[in-house]
Amino acid sequence: MLRRDRRVIAAALALLAALAWSYTLWLADLMRMPGMGTPDLRMDANPFAPAMMPQIQPWSPTEFALLFAMWAIMMVGMMTPAAAPMVLLHARVGRQAAASGHVMTGSGWFFGGYLLAWTLFSLAATIGQWALERAALLTGSMALASTPLAAAILFAAGCYQFTPLKEACLSHCQSPLAFIQRHGGFRRTAGGALSLGLRHGTYCVGCCWALMLLLFALGIMNVMWLAAIAAFVLLERLLPRTRLPSHAAGAALIMGAGWLVLG
């Protein structure tokens, strides 16, 4: 079993990502149903209708919880593949420790800390969505109604790709072993592993938060852009010796902002 633990963990991560993407695709299809984006027609028979159209009336706690769940599950689907190398490294070290008679906590605690960081981001994103809808700045399809604001988000996200903070956070995400060594090595307790995973997830949020804000400009449930951002995040981590993808994306976003303003 110890020899196969990495395969089991890899399969579990793939299944988790697949389930999260399945939920996201289902929800995107639900939004395309007739009436879901029309303020005049509220589909009370659908439990997700209030969350899809909170501009019709103030959000209830249930509606807020549904939107928060939507963001959290989307982040699980988008970010689990990017976390896989670090989780598998953690599992390998745990297997080696067990083989030598030492005890190290399971990789699930580490991954739980990573997901906790993105859950906190999801809470912030949900509050941001609530504020935008209160200001009547989001359409029924969950995209910004203001072209200048959308252009500003694209421009800010593009500029962030060139900043030292982006580079510092990305460097922690690209080299799993170096990250572990910089932060005191692997932890043998559940709390220690959870804390280390949370720290890794925080660096990941620091690397990707601006890209995730693009969803407000491009459409929060736009599956094509969700997949494109997730693929780009994974690409950044698989090419640790170059900043070309980050800089190319930054230049493209800045040009896209200019196109929105001039168009």
| 194 has pLDDT over 60 | yes
Q: What are phi and psi of 138, to 5 degrees?
A: -115, 140
For 64-91, give the DSSP string: HHHHHHHHHHHHHHHHHHHHHHHHHHHH
The answer for residues whose C-beta is within 8 angstroms of residue 158's C-beta and 6 or more apart is: 249, 250, 251, 252, 253, 254, 255, 256, 257
Q: What is the mean pLDDT of residues 249-257?
A: 95
- Cα separation, 28 vs 241, in Å, equals 36
Write out the two tokens for 248: 């190319």
pTM assigned to the model: 0.85
Calculated CA dihedral for residues 11, 76, 158, 32, nearest 10 degrees: 110
Q: What is the mean pLDDT of residues 117-138?
A: 93
136-149: burial string, b at 16+ Cβ within 10 Å, e else: ebbebebbbebeeb
Domain hosting 258: range is 2-262
Q: What are phi and psi of 144, to 5 degrees?
A: -60, 135
- Cα separation, 199 vs 184, in Å, equals 12
- Cα separation, 71 vs 58, in Å, equals 19
Name the band, by pLDDT with cuts 50, 70 and 90, for residue 99.
low
Report for 59-68, 89-98, 222-231: range of highest mean pLDDT: 222-231
Write out the two tokens for 210: 């601006």
Count of CB atoms situated within 10 Å of the CB of 75: 23
Number of domains in the chain: 1
Match 């922690």 to its residue by tokens: 172
Q: What is the mean pLDDT of residues 81-86?
A: 90
**pLDDT at residue number 166:** 95
Nearest alpha-carbon partner for 152 in 216, 90, 105? 216
| 131 has pLDDT over 80 | yes
Count of CB atoms situated within 10 Å of the CB of 38: 12
Match 């029924």 to its residue by tokens: 140
In sequence order, the β-bridge partners of residue 138 are 144
